Structure 1
Amino acid sequence: MSILITKNTKVITQGITGKTGRFHTNLCLNYGNGKKAFVAGVNPKKNGQKFEEIPIFDTVKNAKNETGATVSVIYVPAIFATSAIWEAIESELELVICITEGIPVRDMLILKNKMKKNNSKTLLLGPNCPGLIVPEEIKIGIMPGNIHKKGRIGVVSRSGTLTYEVVCQLTELGFGQSSAVGIGGDPINGLKYIDILKLFNEDQNTDAVIMIGEIGGLDEIYAANWIKKNMKKPVIGFIAGITAPPGKRMGHAGALITGDFDTAQSKLDIMESCGIFITKNHSEIGYLLKKIL
């Protein structure tokens, strides 16, 4: 079993003809069930054309109606990205995955407000995220497929590169993954840790979860409190930025310490008090998992 997507999910790529969209769609096509999963692309100026035998449509709505797709992945430039997300939401897709980074915070605030006012049922993953993968079945986004292995460990992270490092370590130690999900590092995003943790908690084929966080914001603290009350499976937690000085933004737009509770150490202390197995060294995550299981 997997969360959010399966090997039978039908996917639209918005921005399929751009450099990034072409490159990563091609990699996704050649991973697992990708050739059957990726059924449409969208570019208003290239309606009727094809990319690697994938038909290109002028709108998301037409792509959905013609192919039955339920998921969209977005590689549109930041200035147009929220418009692309909203088009997918208006088309009532089940899940929209926005890979684009650099979207202005104001644009995301407006978008999230529109989603709330319209009672949107569409789930949004990202922006500024690597996507998600069900190892050996399907990947949607930019995660390197070769490091993943099918198994029973769930991974959820704000950081793309740390996700890859941890997954590679798990695979080398013989721990496969049920699903790996990148929620993105921007301050305003869609699905949160708690949303993904709930799905892993209910997934019969996930035995434990790795939660990778960063300095900045309070999402990890909210997640820790939820875990304490609800999680039935062991969770290993890591926070990047343990040596970051206050007021310093570390890479991601959301990784900015602004108070007493969004430092790495504060988060780790709260996570540990909530029953999460913590480590300050991400290279030890796999070994810690081995001890727990």
Structure 2
Amino acid sequence: MNFTNDKTVIVQGISEAIGSIHASAMKAYGTNVVAGIGPGHGGETIDDIPVFDTIEQALPKVGSVDTSVIVVKPYAVLDAALEAIAAGIRQLILITEGMPPLDMVKLMRKAEATDTLVVGPNTPGIIVPGKLLLGTHKSDFYTPGSVGLISRSGTLTYEVALNLTQAKLGQSLVVGIGGDAILGSSFAQWLQILDEDETTEAIVLVGEIGGTNEEEAAHYISETIDKPVVAYVAGRHAPKGKRLGHAGDIMAAQLSTGKRHNVSLVGADPDTAQSKIEAFKAAKIPVAESPSEIPDLVKKALKPTRKK
């Protein structure tokens, strides 16, 4: 998938405080933010970004749009996303946290029918260091390089990226797939993208308790991915059965029967950190004990693949 700084981007919800702040930050980073959408604010400008009431009004002025970064309130995300899809936009970044699950189900049905990539909800978005920022990543933590990073967490993504940067391990692409119970894109999708990406030499996967995403990713890596992968799982010491922020995804795990997509899960409690760690180890994927250990594991993983 081609993420370059010539792609056109709009921000739906630019009139919200978080929307205006991050629209300006994306533009300053070099992202081609061509418009913002803020009902009732049409005709205004924010950091020289023109604001329109609707996407339909924006398109004749700015032309076709590749990506929409959506930062509206939770119950407005579905309408905003469907508006973007109807306008032909095929990449959606859902920054908003707490989108109603049934709204997400409806959105994903439409996204699948229109071949639309949905990242999130509850995501910091995507960053291609030095080139493109789509979301809320703290850009000075990142530097261009060859390590791809996929994460379910938000702030933990920044910490891992900073550890890599300080170890002189730049990043090729970083994506937060989101922390809500139902997500648009999966670990598997991004693993495939990074496996096929010519600039990526190694992949770091950051998971956390709740759901079966990591177990499925471990199986997918063992069966499909050729590049070295290093994993880290947050939540080792979380009390079992309690909802803790992103770990609220435990609710989704409680609905699981132990198998999804014909993937046998490792461990009796698939929502726990231990089950996920066991799954990665069974797939022969190195697992870091802490974020600070990730750079050393990446360097070890890269040694066999880099020419001396």
**In the alignment, is the contact (CA less than 8 A) between 2:95 and 2:121 conserved in 1?**
yes
Match for residue 145 of structure 2 among 148, 151, 164? 151
State the partner residue of 1:289. 298
* 1:98 pairs with 2:113: no
State the partner residue of 2:106. 110
**In the alignment, is the contact (CA less than 8 A) between 1:214 and 1:255 conserved in 2?**
no
Residue 160 of structure 1: CA displacement? 0.8
Residue 49 of structure 1: CA displacement? 2.2
Residue 78 of structure 1: CA displacement? 1.1
SS state at 1:96 partner: strand
Render the CA deviation track for 1:63-115: whole Å, top value 9, x for unaligned.
34432221000110112112111111222212000100121223222332444
In the aligned structure 1, how far is the partner of 2:99 from the partner of 2:280? 30
Q: What are the ranges of 5 or more consecutive residues in structure 2 without an aligned counterpart?
A: 255-267, 303-308
Q: How does 1:135-146 map to 2 (within 5 A)?
A: 135-146=129-140
* 1:160 pairs with 2:154: yes
State the partner residue of 1:54. 49
TM-score, normalized by length of structure 2?
A: 0.89
* 1:245 pairs with 2:254: no
The letter of the residue matching 1:8 is D
**In the alignment, is the contact (CA less than 8 A) between 2:41 and 2:51 conserved in 1?**
yes
Query: Which is further off, 236-245 or 161-170?
Result: 236-245
Residue 14 of structure 1: CA displacement? 0.3
Residue 23 of structure 1: CA displacement? 0.8
- Aligned alpha-carbon RMSD (Å): 1.5
Match for residue 78 of structure 2 among 82, 87, 90? 82
Identity across the alignment (%): 40
**In the alignment, is the contact (CA less than 8 A) between 2:149 and 2:173 conserved in 1?**
yes
The letter of the residue matching 2:89 is L
Evaluate the alpha carbon distance shift between residue 64 and residue 277 of structure 1 in structure 2; reply closer, same or farther with a 3 A threshold: farther
Evaluate the alpha carbon distance shift between residue 246 and residue 228 of structure 1 in structure 2; reply closer, same or farther with a 3 A threshold: same
Q: How does 1:262-277 map to 2 (within 5 A)?
A: 262-277=271-286
Evaluate the alpha carbon distance shift between residue 276 and residue 134 of structure 1 in structure 2; reply closer, same or farther with a 3 A threshold: same
Query: Which is further off, 187-196 or 79-88?
Result: 79-88
Residue 4 of structure 1: CA displacement? 4.8
Residue 29 of structure 1: CA displacement? 1.4
SS state at 1:21 partner: helix
Q: What are the ranges of 5 or more consecutive residues in structure 1 without an aligned counterpart?
A: none
